[in-house]
Amino acid sequence: MMNRRTLLLAGLAMPALSRHGFAADPIRIGMTQPLTGAVAASGNYVANGAKIAVEVLNAAGGVLGRPIELVLEDNKSNPREAVAAAEKLVLRDKVPVLIGAWSSTFTLAIMPKLIEYKVPMIVETSSAARITTSGNPWVFRIAPTSEMEAVAFAELLGKFDPPIRKIDFLSVNNDFGRGAAEKFSAALGAKGIRIGRTETMTPEATDLAAQITALRQSDGDTVFLTTGVEQQTLALRQAVEQRLGKRIVTTGGSFPDQLLANPLPPGNTSYHILFYAPWFPERAPHPQIAERYTAEWNKKGWEFAGLTEGFRGYDAVLTVAVAIKLAGKPEAEAIRAALWKVKLAGVNGDISFAKEGPAGQESGQNKPNVSVVTLSEGKTGLL
Amino acid sequence: MDQALQHLVNGTVLGGTYALLGIGLTLVFGVMRVVNFTHGELYAFGAYMTYAGVSLLGLNFYLSLALATLLGMALGASIEWLLLRPMRKADIDSVMLVMIGAALVLQNGEMWAWGGVAKLIPNPFPGTPLVVGPVSVMPLRLFVLVVSAALLLGFWLLLDRTRIGMAMRATFQDPETAALMGVRIGWVNTATFAIGSGLAAAAGALLGPVFMVSPTMGDLVGLKAFAIVILGGLGSLPGATIGGFALGFVEEFAGGFVSTEYRDAFGFLLIILILAVRPQGLVPAKERIG
């Protein structure tokens, strides 16, 4: 077990330990995110977090005496485009390491290419279990799986009043949404909570009235909502319209920030499982790192609530930088080997990788932290 | 029963917006024989112009809706003038390619201008639903339904009671004979494309505040509009209206009572079934042949 103080020092001092002076070419880090399309809000936030991390690293002298360059490709919220973006980054831009690709569906689409081109990828957001259990040794995930999220949430059940007794699901119809419904059913079912209906929606759907009307027929008291920011916002608004009358808990770490400026009517409180709550940086596992990240973000004038997802990009770039430093050279195989030795303090908490998946083909999985934020009348609170 | 009533209300609201989407597309096809792939982008354009009016310029919500519609008409007229008029003698495939290109340019222009992150349009309606017995509906949605009905009625009056409407109908039935009778076909085409575009922009302006505004919002809408037009009968205005409501009800009831997982699939299954029985669509357009 690593000493907490050592970790913190490593995270804070890592950029400063690098040599100054950028005589050599930059080290390129490839990143693909959904910058446009159905889940563009989240993708842009993650990309912004990564850009900040690159600036922080370069201001402190870069890595191995070379500046870091982030090569960002839009996957257009589409798995085919995600594959094209990854191939472009590896083949044309010659990046030795990737970060991506937000949605589990996009990440799963890219994964065979990692084996083909022998390039490691830091998975910053995707939560489907298969990503780290399918036997892809080039995958290192810093995001929690849906199962980790569900198990962590199950520990907080006592904080809900009235208590959660029966749950339903409204999930986007892809690996992310279906995976979350399955894992939350298992984790909460094990705690004696009854499982009701599961309604699904396509990622592009805007009218969710049929789904919400159907959920109204269930006698469940809580609906778990799993999708991107845009559909979260739509679902929460349309739940008011359809008088759903149930507690809504969003999963996956996204936050419907537009509801801060355009709040739901009084009496509607939603719950959001997040991996960083920027309203309360002092409650983060490493407050200094969280505050530095938050301050850099705010300096840019970006939307404050984007911090909830931006940290993924920030932590992912820091992780890659530590791995390159440990590898001693920006080469794919060396970085992959070094990723197993990475230990650093990130915004979400301590980052290191444990082995998951079939022997000899293991992927790396970090164990992140989880918190639940409430949103009521445009104001946030920590559960 | 309560659930069925709620689905009925939801289906009516959804069908009204689908009808508005379909009618602009079918008008352009009926009169000009142009498959307007920019329809979904004009819808997005209307939504963005409303967002710009309300959120950036601080204009009145209703004024922003009207301005967005007028700007949509102006954009449509420009597309007709710049792209379609020079291609009047070209074959339908070439025109389709040009329109696909125009749609891509418009969508990428929106991404460039507004970024990829979706935006919410503030509106002056209360955030709590109107409740009548077991059903509820947002005042904003009712407003959209009423304005959609008014636009459909106004559009029907324009076609049926005005000179330009008569000229459009004549051009639709037989362009060459209409030209011989003194109808200025070029002008009719510009007006038709502008009106069709205005209807798409109006739909976007109305639905932007209901949903969210993003550069790709026109993709699914464009697909749905084509489905509605094919379902109703290509070029048929009553067909687009009926097709819009049919699709709205099928999606809503099948989604609510069978499976939300296949909600969109049910809509397209309906289209396949109807086209298998009536290949000309529900209400085929009347047109002179030969």
Chain A residue numbers with beta carbons less than 8 Å from the beta carbon of B141 are: 241
What are the CA-CA distances from residue B261 to residues A200, A202, A205, B276 (Å)?
A: 5, 8, 11, 24
Chain B residue numbers with beta carbons less than 8 Å from the beta carbon of A217 are: 3
Q: A206 touching B, CB under 8 A?
A: yes
Residue B8: count other Cβ atoms within 10 Å of its Cβ: 14
In chain A, which among 275-304 make CB contacts under 8 A with chain B? none
> Which residue's entry shows tokens 């959001």?
A272
- From the list B273, B278, B224, the residue with the least C-alpha distance to B251 is B224
Chain A residue numbers with beta carbons less than 8 Å from the beta carbon of B14 are: 207, 209
For chain B (290 residues), the mean pLDDT of every run of 10, in chain order, is 82 87 86 88 96 94 96 96 89 90 91 83 88 87 90 87 89 85 89 93 92 87 87 84 90 83 83 86 65
Closest CB to A40 among B117, B131, B136? B117
Contact B263 A205 (CB under 8 A): yes
> Looking at the domain assignment, is residue B236 inside a domain?
no
pLDDT value, residue A22? 58
Closest CB to A233 among B116, B212, B261? B212
In chain B, which among 122-141 make CB contacts under 8 A with chain A? 122, 126-129, 131, 136-138, 141
Q: B41 touching A, CB under 8 A?
A: no
Instruction: Report phi then psi at B16, rounded to 5.
Output: -60, -40
Q: A36 touching B, CB under 8 A?
A: yes
The domain in which residue B108 lies consists of 17-115+132-218
Give A121→chain B minimum CA distance, Å: 24
pLDDT value, residue A231? 92
Contact B261 A217 (CB under 8 A): no
Chain A residue numbers with beta carbons less than 8 Å from the beta carbon of B253 are: 210
Rounded CA-CA distance B229/B274 in Å is: 13
> Looking at the domain assignment, is residue B91 inside a domain?
yes
Bridge partner list, A248: A223, A270
> Looking at the domain assignment, is residue B288 inside a domain?
no
Residues of chain A with CATH 3.40.50.2300: 4-144+285-365, 147-274
Question: With respect to CATH, is domain A4-144+285-365 assigned 3.40.50.1980?
Answer: no
> Looking at the domain assignment, is residue B251 inside a domain?
no
Q: Write down the architecture of domain A147-274 according to CATH.
A: 3-Layer(aba) Sandwich (3.40)
pLDDT value, residue A105? 92
| Ranges of chain A whose pLDDT falls below 70 | 1-23
Domains: count for chain B: 1
